[in-house]
Structure 1
Amino acid sequence: MATDYARSLQWTKEETDEFLLQNRTVVTAGTASLVSTAASFPFDSVKSRLQVRDYPSIWACAKSVVREEGFRGFFRGVTIPLITISFVRTSSFSIYYNTKAALHRNGIFDDSSRLIHTALSGAAGGATSGIIISCGSAPFELVKVQRQLEYLIAVQKGLVKKNTSANGGGRTFVPQSGFQAAANIYKNFGGIKGFYMGFPLHMARDTFGTALYFGFYDSIRKLVTRHSTSDSISGPSLYGIPGPVVSFLSGSSAGILSWMILYPVDLIKTKVQRDALAGNPKQFTGWQTFMHMIRERPIVQEEGGKQRILKTDTFLARFLRLYRGLGVSALRSFISHGLTWTLIETISGKITERTGQSVSYAPDAKQEE
């Protein structure tokens, strides 16, 4: 009887194929998000620390994390992002595809022969996705930032002395779980509204960032398709470069380009949220933080009590403060977005091979519904 029951739970090939086709976005984007988030999270942790504290280099920041927090510090707060980012990205891709399809059905940006139409339809789908998704993702990202920076926040508030021992001796810092961090934000920062600290910056970053990201990706893939020497179920190849590698480079290029433009907004958002979470009495708005970073000029104390401003402290040097941590962030984007699109295209190809029905995610491709 138990064997008969177990067999009744097994899907036939037709049922499995139908599930894969009907839920292809969940299967592809969900799987890709889980893998890419886990692989890139340590770089995201280092990026957050570089944004709110001066380190001589990326390597110095990484060594500081290991010395003060242990190797686990790189993965502090990873559990919630693994769940939420997978859900958010899957929803984001669904909204992006559906928005583009709706625009094309209504004759808007529907000329696939024109690169500008491809770019604008991708950007419109991305912007729509960013606006909607940011409302739900903001609380989870705030908890992630709190977990990533909780040691630095504890040091800033004087709750723990910086650890100087390689083995963690004398450390009194006890990290929170993600649920504890969320409960503390709810309790100490006004309930639900506390999860939306820095939300205008979060929405601006997600809306414009996602628009640029999908617009860039669709444009890159359109150009690749035009110059492709051959095609496969894993995507078009280019000048002998295999399809999966082309997908990786296309995704990583789109991620890096969009992130370079929006990076200052993300840095300012992180600083605003860090100060709010630390209870800093002198909190700045996003615009005030931007102007402070542009205008602040460090003064050097010389012997005899004289003070002078560094000659190297030019406007360009102050502006580049807005890109502190960009190097590791670009590396994170390279890995995360490259893996995301490689897995999406590869898994889509496997589904096509299994079912015989195309589920290509290339721009303007006709998909089986």
Structure 2
Amino acid sequence: MEDGNHPRSSTWHGSSYSVGATSTFLSTVLTFPIYKTIFRQQLHTLTIREASQQLLKEGFAHLYRGLAPPLVAKTVQGTLLFGTQATFQKSLSGNGKVGHWDRCLSGLMSGALEAVLLVPFERIQNILQDGRNNARFPSANSILQEFQSYSTQNRFTFGLYRGFSVILARNALGSALYFSFKEPLRDALSLDGVPGWVPSLVSGSVNGALTSLILYPLSVLVSNMQAGVGKELPKTREVARAVWLQCGGNVSLLYRGASLIILRSCITWGVTTAIHDVLRGQN
């Protein structure tokens, strides 16, 4: 880590924000078809081939349907993830030596803040990606108009912030895990003669994939809670029970889409981590 008195410290946070925004913007565009395939698997317990065929049947015009919300959300997410974590970490360490718990707690707080701000984007994205909503909700604006008709209280619990508690837990834990192991993994892989960006790429890929796999059941739960639109909101426990019964109590069915999660996470977090560390001068 860079010392707080280092000449580069004045631009430290700025570079974290800008690099996070740029890398997540590009990776979101590249991996969106993979993400949409995973979403269909989570929602309908389909195989990769079945989910792909479903998307092909709908046509290319619908392949990138729902891209705008995650594109904006992921760009903001990357900005917040690295920028606010750096700020929280600096406050916790007091410009001294950064410890494991400083990284963990700053990641936890960064993930929680991210969840509060980005739940509405994920909610709209999940509605748009469910093929059953194509006719009823042709655009993000039609979804917002539907939620506008709800009362103030229902607009929060049944509208844009449906599933908030699960997303809060997933994002906070995910960020805490990522930042806890980001630097230790990179340092362990750093060898003489190996370009500095390689350990960052590999560690980011491994770290992102493992974190995504650990929290995958929560993502399945979020997909099933957020895809539907209506004023009836089952409790989280009831949705979890329904998902488990839909999978026939089979863990392997619950983890359908996990193989694509690994691919997407390797690309997204590997590239993001490598670019961030190179521009931060940590290699």
Q: Scaled by the length of structure 1, what TM-score is found?
A: 0.67
Q: CA deviation at 1:331?
A: 1.4
Helix, strand or coil for the counterpart of 2:66? coil
Helix, strand or coil for the counterpart of 1:320? helix
Aligned partner letter, 2:182: Y
Aligned pair in 2 of structure 1 residues 188, 53: CA closer, same or farther (>3 Å)?
Answer: farther
Q: CA deviation at 1:76?
A: 1.4
Give the equivalent residue in structure 1 for 2:30.
Answer: 39
Pick from 258, 261, 273 the counterpart of residue 211 of structure 2: 258
Q: Does 1:183 align with 2:139?
A: no
Task: State the percentage of identical aligned residues.
Answer: 24
CA distance in 2, matches of 1:101, 1:214: 14
Q: CA deviation at 1:203?
A: 0.5
8 Å CA contact 2:107, 2:175 repeated in 1: yes
Pick from 118, 123, 126 the counterpart of residue 145 of structure 1: 126
Aligned partner letter, 2:37: V
Q: Does 1:345 align with 2:280?
A: no
Pick from 112, 115, 132 the counterpart of residue 134 of structure 1: 115
Aligned pair in 2 of structure 1 residues 297, 341: CA closer, same or farther (>3 Å)?
Answer: closer
| Within-5 A mapping of 1:166-181 | 173=135, 176-181=138-143
Aligned partner letter, 1:207: A
Q: Does 1:58 align with 2:38?
A: no
Give the equivalent residue in structure 2 for 1:229.
Answer: 192
**Unaligned stretches of 5+ in structure 2?**
1-7
CA distance in 1, matches of 2:220, 2:192: 41
Q: CA deviation at 1:105?
A: 1.4
8 Å CA contact 1:123, 1:212 repeated in 2: yes
8 Å CA contact 1:252, 1:338 repeated in 2: yes
CA distance in 1, matches of 2:241, 2:13: 49
Aligned pair in 2 of structure 1 residues 338, 53: CA closer, same or farther (>3 Å)?
Answer: same
8 Å CA contact 1:255, 1:333 repeated in 2: yes
Q: CA deviation at 1:254?
A: 0.9
**Unaligned stretches of 5+ in structure 1?**
1-16, 155-172, 231-236, 299-314, 349-358, 363-369
CA distance in 2, matches of 1:210, 1:224: 21
- Count of paired positions: 273
Give the equivalent residue in structure 2 for 1:160.
Answer: none
Give the equivalent residue in structure 1 for 2:163.
Answer: 198
Aligned partner letter, 1:245: V
Q: Scaled by the length of structure 2, what TM-score is found?
A: 0.85
Pick from 255, 268, 273 the counterpart of residue 323 of structure 1: 255
Aligned pair in 2 of structure 1 residues 361, 176: CA closer, same or farther (>3 Å)?
Answer: farther
Q: Does 1:291 align with 2:241?
A: yes
1:28-87 deviation per Cα after TM superposition (whole angstroms, max 9, x unaligned): 1111111111111111111111111032x21221121111x2123331111222222212
CA distance in 1, matches of 2:103, 2:204: 14
Higher RCO, Cα 8 Å, sep 6+ = 2
Q: CA deviation at 1:201?
A: 0.6
Aligned partner letter, 2:94: R
Aligned partner letter, 1:320: S
Give the structure with higher Rg (CA): 1
Aligned pair in 2 of structure 1 residues 33, 134: CA closer, same or farther (>3 Å)?
Answer: same
Compute the RMSD of aligned alpha carbons. 2.8
